[in-house]
């Protein structure tokens, strides 16, 4: 497996994370080691391993984004140094992200516009490529281990096709329907705090 440095990531990031729609299947892992063994047997390409991610979700004081089923997040990743501005919604599959060079400045600009950080999530994440799909292996304190299988596209008509392909890949990796998690990490974290 090839572990790429941040400056070498641009072509892979552009190929795998380009598009305004995302099909994503999330699974709770009951046996991380067994899952990793099955993943390793498929010889994935490594984008990064064991990065620490800090997500800061912004909303207005009146929670206008949440009420419109939208989310706005500034993500900082270490040690890769990747910083992203991520917007999801209002449709379930709508997701767009862009690289930024200064997360502190982006957060300051959002605060100037009247937004505030309403939730912070920390996770340990590894990202792998399996053909046209990307897979993240996550650990979140208080929530445990998860695997997300995903693909991004600009072609909304391909979403059902990609979902079937991802379900097949999940089965090949030993992931079953009983492990599916339909809530976002944000929703899970908010449930944990409630």
Q: What is the mean pLDDT of residues 139-143?
A: 92
CA distance 108 to 4: 31
pLDDT (tens digit per residue) in 86-115 = 999 999 889 899 999 999 999 999 999 999
The tens digit of pLDDT for each residue in 34-82 reads 999 999 999 999 999 999 999 999 999 999 999 999 999 999 999 989 9
Cα gap 78→140, rounded to integer Å: 15
Task: Provide the pLDDT for residue 193.
Answer: 75
82 bridge partner residues: none
**Catalytic member of 27, 57, 162, 185:** 57
* High-pLDDT (> 90) share of the chain, %: 77
For residue 2, the model assigns a pLDDT of 34
Please state the pTM of the whole predicted model. Answer: 0.83
Distance CA 11, CA 14 (A): 5
Q: Is 115 a catalytic residue?
A: no
How many C-beta atoms lie closer than 10 Å to residue 180's C-beta?
13
| Residue closest to 3 by CA, chosen among 50, 49, 53 | 49
């Amino acid at each position: 497996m090839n572990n790429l440095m941040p400056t070498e990531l641009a072509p892979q990031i552009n190929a795998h994370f380009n598009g305004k729609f995302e099909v994503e299947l999330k699974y709770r892992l009951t046996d991380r080691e067994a899952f990793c063994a099955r993943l390793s047997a498929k010889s994935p390409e490594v984008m990064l391993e064991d990065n620490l991610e800090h997500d800061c979700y912004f909303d207005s004081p009146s929670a206008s984004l949440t009420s419109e089923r939208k989310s706005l997040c500034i993500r900082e990743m270490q040690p890769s140094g990747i910083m992203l501005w991520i917007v999801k919604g209002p449709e379930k599959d709508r997701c767009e992200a862009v690289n930024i060079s200064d997360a502190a400045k982006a957060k300051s600009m959002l605060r100037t516009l009247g937004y505030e950080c309403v939730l912070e999530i920390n996770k340990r994440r590894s990202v792998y490529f399996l053909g046209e799909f990307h897979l993240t292996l996550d650990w979140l304190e208080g929530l445990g281990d998860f695997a997300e299988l995903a693909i991004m596209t600009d072609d909304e008509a391909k979403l059902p096709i990609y979902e079937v392909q991802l379900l097949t890949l999940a089965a090949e990796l030993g992931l079953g329907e009983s492990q599916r998690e339909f809530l976002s990490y944000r929703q899970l974290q908010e449930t944990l705090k409630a």
